[in-house]
Structure 1
Amino acid sequence: MPATASVDLPPQQAGEGGAGGGGDASGGAMGGADPSGSGGGVVEVGGGAVDPCPPDLTQCGSVCVDLQSNPYHCGGCFEYCPTESCVAGICDGSTLGHVAVLGMSFHEDHAPSRHLLGNAVFLPSSLDVALLTYAKHAHPVAVKNVTSILATEASKRGRIFSETFTNDADDLAAQLDTASFDVVLIHDLALAPPGHGLAFATTTQQALEDFGQQGGIIVALATSNDEMPTLLSETGLLATAGLIPIEGALLSKTAPTDALALGVPAPFSAKFKTSAIVATEPSSPLLSFVFSDDSAAANPVVIHKVLPASP
């Protein structure tokens, strides 16, 4: 463990996400890991701060770290490297893929959820983001709203996005590769007949797994309890036992430094067609419950999972 020392920091630098932790979540690894880490030059921040970090270190939350070698801040604040080998700011041996499961359908336009969706879809660091959207059996209002929200969020963030729609699972599986797309978006199966979630999973499971292991981003909107838990579980995206409607519940950040949470005003009220996710996978450095409801169980509503690259 490197030696630590007290360093004063300007008060205006303190805050959620640390330095560079504004609303743009394009850096996007998990923030649930130990924010100081155990390597790569860590200097603890003292109280009553007035001076910046040393020139070779960057403030991330309450510590000054070396972004070139710290596996918990590899290349940027809170960008966790699962291989724990950060070399020159790059996670050695790993191109991270991500799964973001949002218990929201976006029937209503709502500032916090709008920013949250933007954080998920614009996780890729590239200026241009190519999106493949599966919208079969989704509610048309939700599909229209999501596309409109993403156009607005892209403009706000100075990003460019293109969206390709498909209503065919075989077509999605055939098209899905990181050479063509950065993100795949799976809409909530609000109008799906019984068995469609399993049929979709059977067709697309391998393609989704390969896409994630190649560094792709998979975003799933999940509020319908009939088919979405099966789809999530059988594709391997997230082991899920069910979804619980929570319209009107208060949602709070439970992983405030996670890339999906950055810049999202909270707490906020759950809107129409919002569901808590009964996940059967525990939280870990690679799986973060980002927003949770105000029930005694604090059920997660937004979950972010990092997928290490294939060997």
Structure 2
Amino acid sequence: MAQIQAVGFDLDYTLAEYKIAFDLLAYDGAVRKLIAMGYPKEVASFKYDPKRYQRGLLIDKQRGNVLKLDRHKYVKVAYHGLSKLESAERKAIYARSFEAQPTFSPPEYASIDTDFLLVDVCLFCQLVDLKDRFPEQLLQSYATIYQQVRRAVDLCHCDGEIKDPVAVEPAKYIYESPELAAMLSQLKLGGKQVFLLTNSLYDYTKVVLEFLLGPHWLNYFDLVICGARKPGFLLDPYLPIFRVNTADASLQNIEMGSEALAQRALSEGKVFQGGNWNHLHRMLRLQTGSALMYVGDHMYSDILRSKRTLGWRTVLMVPELCHEVSMLERSEG
């Protein structure tokens, strides 16, 4: 840690861990939106079942399948909707050969690389099962069903279906984190700059961190960037940055074309929206990405992109690892 000058954190599923009730806001809201899109009323009887799914799975949109790959990209387990595929059927579809090597890449496949997408995969599998049992009720292709599920869930994150209830009663949806304040304080006492880099907008970020850290939550950070739009933040050096007025969440366009301008902007207020990695590095006075460590939960936009593109040191939150290792040891024992 001696060479690390700055330590950054994502918000959702990193500093903030959510309860099942949070997932249900997205799930129930998406169900209502799907019915409004014309899906059959049977969808209203669906129940959220998060124990069936975890990050790291892969959705085959065209076939209506969900896959679990090993480290060699071999399909170890496959489900069609809610039904497990037999070994012979799985191998017939996904077996590798010299002529055809499955790439498992977009747009045919979608990775479940964040906990936010567990609602998507649960609903998708249930709808695939419903389509197979009652094909006359769901004429859409599996791929179209996936797109409409993704749209319904995404709308819940944008229209207040999720954020409004969390703002009213955060304790119902967010786990308390009594050691969080001490951890952030210890990093600052150790001479590290501590920053927050999240795709959530300021109004929601404020609700969550006031619950976790109290009304003076901003004191725990040297810099806060909300609405970052990762992975774009890590890839596009031309994205504009705005100052956030913490009194009313209004935005002000600012210039950070040099380190001097960035330092001046930071001295006038430490909460921003959007921007790109150049702005971050200038405000933190970093000469190299390897002097920064970032902690997040999203395998692609938090970890892989930042490490490969910018050379950041990264830490991935993997709460599922204990269970995964236990299952692996059991299968090999």
TM-score by shorter chain over 0.5 = no
Name whichever structure is richer in strand by fraction.
Answer: 1
Using structure 2 for the length normalisation, give the TM-score.
Answer: 0.26
**Computing the radius of gyration over CA atoms, which structure comes out larger, 1 or 2?**
2
Name whichever structure is richer in helix by fraction.
Answer: 2
Using structure 1 for the length normalisation, give the TM-score.
Answer: 0.27
